[in-house]
Amino acid sequence: MNNTHNVINDLLVNIFNEILVIEQNALKMGVFSDVTITEVHTIEAIGLYDSKSMGEVAKMLGITVGTLTAAINNLVKKGYVERIRSQEDRRVVKISLTRRGKLLYRIHKKFHGDMVKATVTGLDEKEEAVLVHSLERLEEFLKEKYTLLSKGNKE
């Protein structure tokens, strides 16, 4: 690996770790000390406006409905999520965020928005396009590897 590759590797590892530490510390110290990062990502998947089915949210998160059910039970107990039974078909249950859940969603979204703003500040359109292209390639690589690993086909 050449020096530039070493620098990129170090930056990616450090950025990933810093984001996790910052998010975890912000949760521990703040009003939302009762939620985990995983629960925040579940809240993010549910979204602000439309209620969603458990299947929709589970698919977005790449987990089973059974795994999601356990997480939603905890988030309901903590007051972040509510279950809404369909008036047309009482068997259908949708989930949506409570006021508290929406507040957490907005705060988390702002953190990510600030992070993106700091990343692109000072870049021209061409530099932004290169950054986007590079991140898309990284995302594709990670998805391919994750898909292979989750299917048990380790390469």
The predicted pLDDT at position 155 comes to 42
The predicted pLDDT at position 154 comes to 43
Who's near 60: CB < 8 A, 6+ residues apart? 45
Predicted TM-score of the model (pTM): 0.78
- The alpha carbon dihedral of 122, 10, 40, 90 has a sign of positive
Give the C-alpha separation, 40 to 62, whole Å. Answer: 15
- Amino acid found at 3: N
Give the C-alpha separation, 103 to 77, whole Å. Answer: 17
Give the C-alpha separation, 46 to 58, whole Å. Answer: 10
The predicted pLDDT at position 23 comes to 80
The predicted pLDDT at position 150 comes to 57
Residue ranges in the chain modelled with pLDDT below 70? 147-155
Closest CA to 26 of 43, 5, 40, 12: 40
The predicted pLDDT at position 26 comes to 76
